[in-house]
Amino acid sequence: MAAPATRRPTVLAAAVATAVTLGASALALPATAADTGRTAPPKLELKDGTLQWGLKESFRKYVMGMAHGKIEAKDGAQQAADNGVFTFSGGKGTYDTGTHATDTAFKGSVRFTSTAHRFDIAITDVKVRTKGKTGAIQADVTLNGAAQNDIDLAALDLSTVRPGQGEGGAMVFKDIPATLTADGAKAFNGMYEAGEKLDPATLTVTAGAPVTEKPTEKPTQKPTEKPTQKPTQKPTRKPAEKPATPSESADPTDGKKPAASQGPVDGKLSWGLKESFRRYISTGGKATVAGGAKKISSGFQFPYAKADLDSDAKKVDASFGGSVRFTYRAHGIDMKFSDLKVRANGVKGTLLADVTTPEGKNNDVKFATLDLSNASYKARNGVVRLDKVPATLTAAGAKQFANDTTGSPYRPGEKLDPVTVALSTSAGAALPAGGSESGGATTGGGTGTTGSGSVGGGGSVGGSGGALADTGSSVPSTALLGVAGVALAAGAGAVVVARRRGSAEAV
């Protein structure tokens, strides 16, 4: 039985190196380890590889269209005609016959630049790594001079991909589904959300001869000669101080009077609207707080105005002061949120806001629905805290981000930043910190910060990001949003041009 394996190792290796590794039907590996006397499965050479991948078609169109930018493929990478996909060439790597893992590196780099929208994104050192039916496209990504090296830019799903035959015995894995990873979203300034669908990738590899690996010449250094000489120090002699008495630890409001009669005396609302939108604004605009509102790590904090609370009935009707105004002069954006209200009843709730633009003011917009199924209305240490309540955009909220040419790039049901409401029921109760403050009243330009160091992240403005104008009859016909899409300058979904420019494009 050894003779056939000896006569045809290359043919079978090619099948294994491609079909088995990259998600095709499982094939049997010949007994090359036994034939050569090796105790471990060998690695096989992969050569003459190519990776055809466009990153994201809408992004390429945005760069060459709305952003008036440039795409440059070089150093072994080429772009197809008519703003097509990229081909990274010269792929070399290995296939591990024991773990069925591949590691292939390609030549070439791609750079996206736009002076008008102020971005410079370079993708270099591209690799494809797979194991079984999963894999990743890895790369070094540099955004406006800040580099992130060897990140998993895209996740690959090879579960339904089958190999085809290429020239010279190469195996071709066509249209492998690809999605953006969390690291990839970060590399693109958070304007795409992790899981965003990217262009499919086509991988071509040819298996070669077994890789000969030299053993290490020297043994490892001597182990440490002595164990630690002393045991750990003696335990503390005294037990912890006596626990607090029930009267000290119990909620001072519990058992004294019905929750319905406990009117709030103070409170605050913490909310960031949508992190991806804040990040988009940070690429060239600013966020300005006023009226007692503050910037915190999770977005913004709005001061207490008034509230009604019935803990037993699980009802809250709270109003908050202050405002946050988003402006992006280059893209025609000016939008202010103020007079925020939270109305909660049991497991459901609504967040309302006044939305002001140069075209006018929309009062009490039912902007988001709130899911309070996991919230507690019970006061603890004199404070009712509805913590990190999931929020989703309403149809009325989406309408605020629309214009009359392309509609709204946000859709009803879009996930927004969670909402936290804290209401104190006694004058001495201390409200929770609710996030660290960010200095300054404005944030903008470049990679400006709001709170946690970025004015946004993890999403897109357009596609799943935002425009800033209204399409309904209650709002004037002039669009507020110039472009939602420098977002995709670092990866976004849709670009909306202000109607005053007379056109619109989708990124």
Section 373-392 average pLDDT: 92
Collapsed DSSP state (helix, strand, coil) of residue 71: strand
Of 43-47, 146-150, 174-178, the range with the highest mean pLDDT is 174-178
Q: Which is higher by pLDDT, 43 or 369? A: 369
Please give the pLDDT value at position 342: 96
Whether this prediction's pTM lies above 0.75 is answered by no
What pLDDT digit, counting tens, does each position of 177-214 carry?
999 999 888 877 666 788 999 999 999 988 888 877 65
Please give the pLDDT value at position 102: 86
Please give the pLDDT value at position 472: 31
pLDDT above 60 for 453: no
The answer to whether 84 and 503 are in contact (CB under 8 A) is no
Radius of gyration of the chain (CA): 29
Q: Which is higher by pLDDT, 131 or 241? A: 131
Please give the pLDDT value at position 200: 96
pLDDT above 70 for 379: yes
Mean pLDDT of the chain: 74
pLDDT above 80 for 435: no
pLDDT above 50 for 18: no
Kindly list the distances between the CA atom of residue 2 and the CA atoms of 9, 32, 41, 444, in Å, as whole numbers in the listed order: 11, 9, 16, 70
Cα separation, 295 vs 292, in Å, equals: 10
Question: Residue 126 pairs with which residues in a beta bridge?
Answer: none
Kindly indicate the confidence band of residue 419, based on its pLDDT and cuts at 50, 70 and 90.
very high
What pLDDT digit, counting tens, does each position of 305-337 carry?
999 999 899 999 999 999 999 998 877 788 999
Kindly indicate the confidence band of residue 402, based on its pLDDT and cuts at 50, 70 and 90.
confident
pLDDT above 80 for 15: no
pLDDT above 60 for 225: no
pLDDT above 80 for 500: no
pLDDT above 70 for 442: no
Section 239-248 average pLDDT: 44
pLDDT above 80 for 451: no
Contacts of 493 (CB under 8 A, 6+ apart): 58, 192, 196, 409, 460, 461, 462, 463, 464, 465, 485, 487, 507
Question: Residue 422 pairs with which residues in a beta bridge?
Answer: 268, 385
Q: Burial, 64: exposed, middle or buried (Cβ in 10 Å; 0-12, 13-18, 19+)?
A: middle
